[in-house]
Amino acid sequence: MKVSLSRLPLGILTALVIVVLLVFSVVIVYGGVNSMESQLEAKLLERMPAKAVEAYKDLNSGKVPSPDSLQVLLASTEELEEWGNWEVDKLILGFGGIAVAFCGLVGYWLARKISRPLEALARATQDLRAGDFAVRVGSIRKGAKEVATLVKTFDELAAELESMEDRLRFNTMAVAHELRTPLTILQGNLQGMADGVFPLEQERVRQLLLQVEGLSALVEDLRTLSLAAGQKLVTQRHPVDLAVEATQVLGASNTLLGSVGMSVEVALEPVRVSGDSQRLRQALLALIENATRYAADGRVLRCETGRRGVDEAFVRMLDRGPGLPDDVSTHSIDLFWRGDASRSRATGGTGLGLSVVQAIAKAHGGRLEFAARAGGGAVITLVLPREPAL
C-alpha cells in the first residue's frame, strides 16, 4: 500500500526531515573536504623544503628516502601538521556553512509545504469568526496527517455551523409564524372588547383561553427543545420499564383517544431502560397526541414495546392514518415540520410534537425511526439503549 510522506504523522515527518537534513550535511562536508584533498596536498608540497618533498614522494612511491631528506621531513612535520589541521578546519567550516545554507533552504521549503494548509486554515478561521459560515479550506494535497485531520474537522465544523445558522433562521421565522396567528386573534378580540365592538361573552373568553393555552404549550415545547440543545433535558436517570410507562400513559389518554373515536391495541413486553421516566412519558404522550390529530380516521392505535437485538429497547406506535412521506426516514425533523399538507395548524397542537420526541430520544442516547405500515398507516418507533442486566 502506497503511503504519502506528506500524510505521515507530524512527529514522524519531522524526525524524517531532520535525519535527511543531517545526512545531507554530512555528505556535503565530507564530499567537499574529500574533493579538495589533491589541492590541499599540492599546497602542502609547496610549503615543504625540497629535501622533505623528495622524502615525501619516496615514501608515497614505496622507496626508502635518504637519511638527510628523511631528517628534513621529520623536522618539518610538526609545522606542516599544524598548517594542515588549520587548512582542514577551514575547509570543514566552509563546507559546513554551505551545508547549513543548503539545509536551511530545504528546511524552509519543506516547512512551507507543511504549514501552507495551516495558513489557509488561519485565514478561513478569521472568515468564520467574521460570520462567514460558508467558508471552507477544502482538501489539501500536502501537509502532515494531523494537519489534514485538522482541516477536515474545520470544514465539518464550518458546515455544521452553517447548517445550524440555517436552522436557526428557519426556526426563528417558524416561531414567529406560529405565534402570529394566536396573538393576532387575541389582540383583535381584546381590542374589540375594549372598544365595545365585541360583547364580553363567556364563550368568547373561553375561545381566547384556548389560544392562550396553545401559546403556553408552544412555549413549553420550545423550552423542552432549548433544554435538549443545552444537554440539560435529561439530568437524572433510573431504571424504567417501558411497558409500565406505556400502560400508564395509555390509561391516562383514554379520554383523549375516545374523543376522536380511537381504540387501542397493545403488545407490551417488559423491557427496562435507563432514563428519565417523566421525559419518556412526555414522549409517549406526544406520540399518542400525534396519532389522535393526524391518524384518527384509522380508528385504531397499536402500541408495542420490546427488545431489539442485544442492546436496544423500543416503543412503537402504529396507526392506520394517511401515513408519512416516502422520504421521512431521511427527513430532518425541523421545528413545526409536518409530513403533508393535511398536517396543519387546523388539526391543533404546536407542530413541535415529533421534534420534542426526537430531542428526548437523543437525550437518552436513542433515536426516532419512521416507516410505512403494511396495509396503510405509519409506524413511529422510539429506540433506546437497554438497561444492562444485573
As a whole number, mean pLDDT of residues 279-290 equals: 89
Per-residue model confidence (pLDDT) at position 381: 94
What is the residue type of 351?
A: G
Give me the sign of the Cα torsion angle 279, 283, 286, 292.
negative
What is the residue type of 4?
A: S
* pLDDT tens track for 47-87: 778 877 777 777 778 788 788 877 877 887 787 788 878 88
Of residues 167 and 108, more confidently modeled: 108
Joined together, the cell numbers standing for residue 25 give: 550535511
Pick from 35-49, 323-337, 376-390: least confident: 323-337
Q: Is the pLDDT of residue 319 over 90?
A: yes
* pLDDT tens track for 329-358: 444 455 444 544 444 444 455 557 788 888
Q: Is the pLDDT of residue 370 over 60?
A: yes
Per-residue model confidence (pLDDT) at position 1: 38
Per-residue model confidence (pLDDT) at position 389: 56
DSSP-derived letter for residue 323 is -
Of residues 130 and 13, more confidently modeled: 130
Per-residue model confidence (pLDDT) at position 331: 45
Q: Is the pLDDT of residue 292 over 80?
A: yes
As a whole number, mean pLDDT of residues 284-292 equals: 90
Q: Beta 312-319 vs 378-385: how paired, if at all?
A: antiparallel
With a pLDDT cut of 70, the percent of the chain lying above it is 86
Per-residue model confidence (pLDDT) at position 342: 43
CB 124 within 8 A of CB 154: yes
Per-residue model confidence (pLDDT) at position 262: 93
As a whole number, mean pLDDT of residues 242-247 equals: 94
Average pLDDT, the chain: 80
Helix, strand or coil for residue 366?
coil
d(C-alpha 332, C-alpha 292), whole Å = 23
Per-residue model confidence (pLDDT) at position 325: 67
Beta carbons within 8 Å of 314's beta carbon, 6+ residues apart = 242, 271, 304, 305, 306, 307, 308, 381, 382, 383, 384
Pick from 9-13, 74-78, 248-252: least confident: 9-13
- 228: confidence class by pLDDT, cuts 50, 70, 90: low
Joined together, the cell numbers standing for residue 206 give: 373561553
Name 304's bridge partners. Answer: 267, 316
Enter the pTM of the model.
0.55
With a pLDDT cut of 90, the percent of the chain lying above it is 17
d(C-alpha 179, C-alpha 174), whole Å = 9
CB 303 within 8 A of CB 268: yes
* pLDDT tens track for 134-166: 888 877 666 667 777 888 888 888 888 888 787
Per-residue model confidence (pLDDT) at position 37: 78
